[in-house]
Amino acid sequence: MASRRRGNAATLSRNAAELALATPQVMAHRLARLALAGPTWSPRDRKEFTLMGMEKVGAFAQAWNAMFWSGVVSSQTIAMQYWSACFMPWLGTRRTEDVMRQWQRAGLTAMGRGLAPIHAKATANARRLATTPLLPIGGKR
Instruction: Compute the distance between CA of residue 93 and CA of residue 84 in angstroms, rounded to an integer.
Output: 8
How do the pLDDT tens digits run along the chain, 141 residues long?
455 555 688 899 999 999 999 999 999 999 998 898 888 888 988 998 999 899 999 999 999 999 999 999 999 988 887 777 777 767 666 666 777 888 888 899 999 999 999 999 999 999 999 998 887 665 555
33-64 residues labelled b (16+ CB within 10 A) or e (exposed)? beeebeeebeeebeebeeeeeebeeebeebbe
- Domain residue spans of the chain: 52-131
Q: Cα dist. 63→52, 54, 59, 86, 111 in Å?
A: 17, 14, 6, 34, 9
DSSP per residue, 95-120 = -HHHHHHHHHHHHHHHHHHHHHHHHH
